[in-house]
Every structure is written in C-alpha cells, then in structure tokens.
C-alpha cells in the first residue's frame, strides 16, 4: 500500500458547485482518499511515498462511462451512417460472429487505452467473451462493471446465461475490487418474457444488477407495442426487471408514465447522446428525467457508433443537445453535466464510493493541465472543463490510488503495441468477409 500526495492543484470535489479548493491538497492512502482540502489540510501523521505537483492543474473525479461495448473498438469507422437495426443486422452482428479470442483482448485493450488517455476511470461494459474482457481490464488498471450481453432469441441464448453466471461468480469484486458485474439481457426486442424472468431471478439470487438497452429507437417502441401492447419500459416492468437494480442504456423514447415508472423503480439511465445522434435514434428527455429525480449517467456506447470514447466530448454534447432540444440555454448547465459524467455515473453503476473527491472515496482522479491557450483566461472552471477543454489536456490519471497515466504516458500498457495489434486484428476480421 503506498501513499500519494497531490499538491497545488485546484480541486473540483464535485460535491457541490462551490466545493472547490484553490491550491488544494489531496492525500491518498492505498486505494482511498483520506483527506481533501486547502494546502496544509493533510493530517500531520500522513507520510507520502510520492508527491505529485499539481500546480497549473485542475483535479477532479475521473469520468464514468456508463455504457460501452469495449471490444467493438475494433469496428470503429467500419460501418457508419445507417439506422440501428440495419447497422446491427447487416454489418455489426455478422462481423462479431467472426471474432476470435485475440480480437476481444486487443479490442478491449485499445478501448481501455483510449479511455485512460481521455480521463475515464470507470466504465460499464456489455459484451461477450467476458473472461478476456475482464483480463484486459485487470491489466489496464481501469475500474469496470461488466455484463455478458444476452440475446434471448439467439441460438446461443442458454450459453449466454451460463457464461453470465460464470462472469458474475468468478469476477465480482476481483482485480483489487475494481471489477463488479451485472447480468446483461440485451434489449426488450431481443429478450422474450420468460427469458427476462429467468435473468431477473439470477440477478436477484446473485445480488447484482441488470444492464440493458431500453427504448433506443422508434422502431423498438413500435415492435414492443405491436407484440405486447406495451411500451418497452412497461414491458420490462411487467416482467419484473425493475425489481432488481437496473442500468438502462439510451431511454430515448419515453412517455410521462414511463418516466414515472423509472423513478418509482429507481432505474438508472445511461444517456448516450452522441450514439443517439449518429444513429439518428432521437433525443432522450434528460431534463424531464432529472426533474422527476431519476439518476442519469453518461455513456459513449461503442466506438462503432460514436466513433470515439471521449467522455469530455460526450459531456459537452450532452449539455449542448439538451439546450437545443428544449430551446433553453439554461438546460443542463456545466456543473450538472459534469456531475452526470462523474458522480451520477458512479451512482448509476451502484458504486457508492466512487465519483467524488472526499475522504473515504476511492482515489479515481484526473489532473487536467490548464496551462493551455484555450483555457485562459479563467472565469468558471466547470464551464472550461465542459465547453473549452480537450481530453488531450488531461495529464495524469489515477485509478484505485494507482497512477495509470502520467505526463500523458500510460504506464499500464505498451501504447504502440496495443495500436499495432488492434490494427492487425481488424485487418484480419474485415479481410475474412
């Protein structure tokens, strides 16, 4: 266990708007923050093994990416500019069927590398071959909430259940506590009622949550209405899905009753504005969700529908999109957008000790170098992070008390090797077509 002291940075604790320490000091012991305040606030008995000079930097909680499909990073810019079902059926699913073990490894490593370099410290992933994903996450140093995507109408529906159970039983709490797990029934349109009920029982028995795509497109609404006479939210509610903790990705097409159900059942939403814009799925009623008291986190979705995993950019998109959608420039102001990208994202994943800078929280921190022309002059620091900063301004990333990037050099993996191997895998995958 080593002790880390970060000195001289401006600390955005994210607890509330005014909880900022200029020339601050953060003490980290092992994986936890033990104190945060102005210079001189660290307990006298604290002995640092390492002191990081944060002068000129802003330190804040790392970003929490609430919805990804990590290994799909291999499919970045492979299939673009088409609607969801055509994109999945014609392009993505046929290629995923050809993926080999090395693809899951290098695809996830590339995803983790990109996320660390853009300040993400935690992500929620839904994919398959999750042992390989978990091993890559363990190597990368990231924190992750992993689920095995399950398509109830597919030939491998039963295998997917068995593999999900294995993931939860073998990986929950592993990698020094950095990995948690969920069950991942893919979506209302791929999971029939009996399948959903089985998965809910498994989640309850294993005391973990569910990660699922919900109400992503207008087509989905029509299909579920046609089959069951219900909205996707009502359909999931009727089948007991919301009786366990749920992370619902997208939630684009919701009516007032849906929003009331989400609030009443404490469903957490992973809002993915860039994926929703790119696939022209629509605009999630985020302001209505927030007004109703629903917890909303932010996600990129995969690099095949975004096409990057940059949470700083996603936060800006989220803020701008709500302003356009509502015609109200006050909608989702910078502090609220940043809370969504950090603190509330952690809550959405059920991580109570992640997403804030305060004693007792996990030390997941990023240092943003503000000594850049586009970050002068300094008025409102939250506005700077959301509207002016670039993820390449992020200098240092700390996860679970460990420095994983310093001076923009990632310490947990060989960056060049990851890019080279990912290109090789992608070339082979597409070459097999």
Ligand X SMILES: N[C@@H](CCSC[C@H]1O[C@@H](n2cnc3c(=O)[nH]cnc32)[C@H](O)[C@@H]1O)C(=O)O
The answer to whether the beta carbons of residues 395 and 407 sit under 8 Å apart is yes
126 near ligand X, rule: CB under 6 A: yes
The answer to whether the beta carbons of residues 217 and 280 sit under 8 Å apart is no
The answer to whether the beta carbons of residues 345 and 64 sit under 8 Å apart is yes
CB of 213 to Zn ion, least distance (A): 5
Peptide bond between residue 307 and the one before it cis (omega within 30 degrees of 0): yes
Instruction: Write the DSSP symbol of residue 65.
Output: E
**Contacting ligand X within 84-103 (CB under 6 A):** 84, 88, 92, 96
186 annotated to a ligand binding site: yes
Best CA proximity match to 178, nearest among 140, 149, 205, 210: 140
**Contacting ligand X within 262-281 (CB under 6 A):** 275
216 contact, one of ligand X, Zn ion, none, CB 5-8 Å limit per kind? ligand X
Binding to ligand X by CB under 6 A, coded x per residue (else -) over 134-163, reads ---------------x-x----x---x---
Q: Contact positions toward Zn ion, by CB under 5 A?
A: 301
216 annotated to a ligand binding site: yes
Secondary structure (3-state) at 291: helix
Separation of alpha carbons 224 and 196, rounded Å = 14
189 contact, one of Zn ion, ligand X, none, CB 5-8 Å limit per kind? none
Size of residue set near ligand X by CB under 6 A: 20
Of the pair 214, 259, the CB lying nearest Zn ion is at 214
149 contact, one of Zn ion, ligand X, none, CB 5-8 Å limit per kind? ligand X
B/e letters for 31-40, b = 16+ CB within 10 Å, e = fewer, are bbbbbbbeee
- Which residue do the tokens 């992973």 mark? 270
Best CA proximity match to 300, nearest among 325, 328, 285, 279: 279
Contacting range for ligand X; rule: CB under 6 A; set: 27-35, 193-201, 297-305, 307-315: 297-305
Separation of alpha carbons 156 and 152, rounded Å = 8
Of the pair 247, 331, the CB lying nearest ligand X is at 247
301 near ligand X, rule: CB under 6 A: yes
Q: Which residues bind ligand X (CB under 6 A)?
A: 69, 84, 88, 92, 96, 126-128, 149, 151, 156, 160, 186-187, 213, 216, 275, 301-302, 305
């Amino acid at each position: 266990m080593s002790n880390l002291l970060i000195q001289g940075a401006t600390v955005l604790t994210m607890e509330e708007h005014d909880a900022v320490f200029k020339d601050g000091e953060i003490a980290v012991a092992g994986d936890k923050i033990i104190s945060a305040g102005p210079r001189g606030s660290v307990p006298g008995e604290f002995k640092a093994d390492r002191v990081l000079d944060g002068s000129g930097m802003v330190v804040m909680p790392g970003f929490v990416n609430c919805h990804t499909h990590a290994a799909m990073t291999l499919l970045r810019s492979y299939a673009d500019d088409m609607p969801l079902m055509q994109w999945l059926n014609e392009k993505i699913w046929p290629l995923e069927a050809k993926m080999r073990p090395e693809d899951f490894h290098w695809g996830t490593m590339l995803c983790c590398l990109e996320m660390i370099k853009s300040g993400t410290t935690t992500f929620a992933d839904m994919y398959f071959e999750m042992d390989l994903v978990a091993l890559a996450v363990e190597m990368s140093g990231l924190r992750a909430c992993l689920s095995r995507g399950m398509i109830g109408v597919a030939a491998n529906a039963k295998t997917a259940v068995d593999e999900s159970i294995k993931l939860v039983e073998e990986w929950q709490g592993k990698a020094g506590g950095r990995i948690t797990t969920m069950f991942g029934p893919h979506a209302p349109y791929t999971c029939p009622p009996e399948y959903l009920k089985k998965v809910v029982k498994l989640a309850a028995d294993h005391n973990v949550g569910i990660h699922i795509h919900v109400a992503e497109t207008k087509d989905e609404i029509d299909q579920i209405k046609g089959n069951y006479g219900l909205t996707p939210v009502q359909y999931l509610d009727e089948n007991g899905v919301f009786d366990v903790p749920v992370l619902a990705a997208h939630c684009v097409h919701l009516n007032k009753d849906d929003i009331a159900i989400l609030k009443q059942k404490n469903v957490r939403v992973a809002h993915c504005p860039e994926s929703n814009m790119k696939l022209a799925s629509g605009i999630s009623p985020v302001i209505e969700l927030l007004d109703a008291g629903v917890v909303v986190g932010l996600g990129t979705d995969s690099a095949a529908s975004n096409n990057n995993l940059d949470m700083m950019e996603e936060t800006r998109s989220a803020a701008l999109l709500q302003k356009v959608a509502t015609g109200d420039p006050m909608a989702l102001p910078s502090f609220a957008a940043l809370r969504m990208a950090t603190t509330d994202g952690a809550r959405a994943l059920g991580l109570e000790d992640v997403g804030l800078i305060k004693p007792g929280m996990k030390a997941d921190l990023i240092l943003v170098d503000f000594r850049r022309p586009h970050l002068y002059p300094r008025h409102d620091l939250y506005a700077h992070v959301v509207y002016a900063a670039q993820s390449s301004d992020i200098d240092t990333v700390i996860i679970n008390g460990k420095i994983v990037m310093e001076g923009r050099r990632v310490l947990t993996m060989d960056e060049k090797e990851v890019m080279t191997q990912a290109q090789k895998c992608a070339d082979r995958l597409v070459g097999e077509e």
